[in-house]
Structure 1
Amino acid sequence: MNQPLAYVHPEAKIAQNVVIEPFASIHKNVEIGEGTWIGPNAVIMEGARIGKNCKIFPGAVVSSVPQDLKFAGEVTTTHIGDNTVIRECVTVSRGTIDKMKTVIGKNCLIMAYAHVAHDCIVGDNCIVGNAVQMAGHVEVGDHAIISAATLVHQFAKVGTHAMVSGGSLILKDVPPFVKAAREPLAYAGINSVGLRRRGFTSEQINEVQQIYRILFISGLNNSQALDKIELELSPSKERDEVVNFIRNSGRGIIRSYFSKDAN
């Protein structure tokens, strides 16, 4: 299972067929699922819950103590879903008293040098690019892509199927299904290519386009636009996801590149 030069705490729970390479370090109160590979010099710290068939590359540190001065030593966890890949030198902090856990979902790819801070919730099938720096309490929806060298403000949210361009600064919430780009970060169309790849029909994509035409191009404020969307468009999963996301946005959403207040 593990090489003689790896350190595995006797209280760690390691499933069958886990490979732990030389100089990796597995601390106590750790659980690792079947088929997972832990690379050389990776450090899996207290509270880690790593699923099946994951790959943790050299230099990664999973479930480190939060970089939060309010952290008082509470017992918290970090959850990594099945089939997720954590590349070189990624750091993932465990939770604080806020959510008590940090979560990265199933089938995710977290590229080299990214940081996922305490109490972040990253959904399934997400891609987080090289050197993305994610502050505490961030939420990322399923199938979202955050491109390289992006900075994400604490408590910000990125919606499902959204795609954020590289080198961005996310200060406000990024709604579902959109592409976000430019500086300051703004709506740059819907993520139509990604939606097609994931099996969305032409009718669904057209509906999403209509939603964002009303929201960003009609000249209405957000409340008026949401009322118009609910009045004119039939209920659907896509419509309701956009409406609920915006209504529950704590930081407010990005604006359109074409709107007057985007610059």
Structure 2
Amino acid sequence: MGAAQVHPSAVVDPGATLGEDVRIGAFTLIGPDVEIGAGTIVGPHSSIHGPTRIGRENHIHGHAAIGGEPQDKKFAGERVELVIGDRNTIREFVTINRGTGDGGGITRVGDDNWFLAYTHVAHDCVVGNRCVFSNNATLAGHVTVDDHVILSGFVGIHQFCRIGAHAFIGMGAFVNGDVPPFVMVAQDGYGRPRGINAEGLKRRGFDSARTSAIKRAYRALYVSGDSLADARVRLEEMAQDSEDVRAFLDFIDAGDRPLLR
């Protein structure tokens, strides 16, 4: 491990902290109150504004704008933060904003995520681990994205929505309600559920019994024609034999926004 390497044309504020083996590319700006963990690479023509804390071994490519002020008219300059974990890949022209004072104050990104070019994470969002945001996928403010979620290209998520773990949102879908874990959403004006993310679950080691239980839960909620209240009764019965169905049901019960149906 060695000292940080900063290109001569880069500007690093004295109030920033760079870990060992951090590399800062040409014409990049690192503002005050920024912490960058060991082994992280920041490409050329990028900007990182604080207060922002970035973990270890991330790769931020050129022209990314990280830690900018929230795009919220209510923001009045209060201290708000961005916290990014470890080993994330952040590609060209990605924007990730800090939080807002009345929204919790912090935007959070976990570990091992891929943010492809032109993706946007707005103020007060929470992104889990091992997610993939394809080109131009966009989160409005206060969105929560759980682990292993895939957002395809040009996906738009409405503010305050939640996307459950292992969900897959198809290309160009606009999501204006909560998406339960494991569910696949396809474009149809606003996105609509179109089955479960079976291929993603298979890749992550879900066996046939777990997948079958999730399929039965999906049918109860989306195919049976039952009301949400009646579907919940059936899901409660299924949840006694399946932790995955329990997670599915717990997600439904915890939401403030309407469920995407």
TM-score by length of 1: 0.94
Report Cα offsets for 1:201-221 as digits up to 9, x if no partner: 111111100111111122211
- 1:124 partnered with 2:129: yes
| 1:231 Cα offset (Å) | 2.1
- 1:113 partnered with 2:121: no
Corresponding position of 1:91: 95
RMSD in angstroms over aligned alpha carbons? 1.1
| 1:228 Cα offset (Å) | 1.4
Corresponding position of 2:164: 159
Q: Which amino acid aligns with 1:215?
A: L
Q: Which amino acid aligns with 1:15?
A: G
Corresponding position of 2:71: 67
| 1:11 Cα offset (Å) | 1.2
Q: Is the 8 A contact 1:3 1:22 kept in 2?
A: yes
Aligned mates of 2:106, 2:241 — CA distance in 1? 34
Q: Is the 8 A contact 2:196 2:215 kept in 1?
A: yes
Corresponding position of 2:214: 208
Aligned mates of 1:236, 1:25 — CA distance in 2? 50
| 1:233 Cα offset (Å) | 4.2
5 Å-filtered alignment, 1:187-206, equals 187-206=193-212
Q: Is the 8 A contact 1:86 1:110 kept in 2?
A: yes
Corresponding position of 2:108: 103
| 1:238 Cα offset (Å) | 0.9
Corresponding position of 1:231: 237
- Equivalent residues, number: 255
Corresponding position of 2:147: 142
Corresponding position of 1:79: 83
Aligned mates of 2:236, 2:139 — CA distance in 1? 33
Aligned mates of 1:40, 1:232 — CA distance in 2? 52
Aligned mates of 2:9, 2:200 — CA distance in 1? 43
Report Cα offsets for 1:67-108 as digits up to 9, x if no partner: 101112111111111000111001111001211111111000
Give the counterpart of 1:29 among 29, 33, 58: 33
| 1:237 Cα offset (Å) | 2.5
Aligned mates of 1:233, 1:51 — CA distance in 2? 37
Q: Is the 8 A contact 2:238 2:245 kept in 1?
A: no
Q: Which runs of 5+ in 2 are unaligned?
A: none
| 1:232 Cα offset (Å) | 4.1
Q: Is the 8 A contact 1:246 1:252 kept in 2?
A: no
Corresponding position of 1:171: 176
Aligned mates of 2:90, 2:113 — CA distance in 1? 8
| 1:147 Cα offset (Å) | 0.6
Aligned-pair identity (%) = 40
* 1:200 counterpart SS class: coil
After TM superposition, the runs of 4+ consecutive aligned structure 1 residues lying more than 3 A away are: none
Aligned mates of 1:67, 1:80 — CA distance in 2? 19
Aligned mates of 1:212, 1:238 — CA distance in 2? 11
Q: Which amino acid aligns with 1:247?
A: D
Q: Which runs of 5+ in 1 are unaligned?
A: 256-263
Q: Is the 8 A contact 1:34 1:53 kept in 2?
A: yes
Aligned mates of 2:229, 2:149 — CA distance in 1? 25
Aligned mates of 1:238, 1:72 — CA distance in 2? 42
Aligned mates of 1:138, 1:170 — CA distance in 2? 11
Q: Which amino acid aligns with 2:252?
A: I
Aligned mates of 2:145, 2:29 — CA distance in 1? 29
TM-score by length of 2: 0.95
Aligned mates of 1:64, 1:113 — CA distance in 2? 15
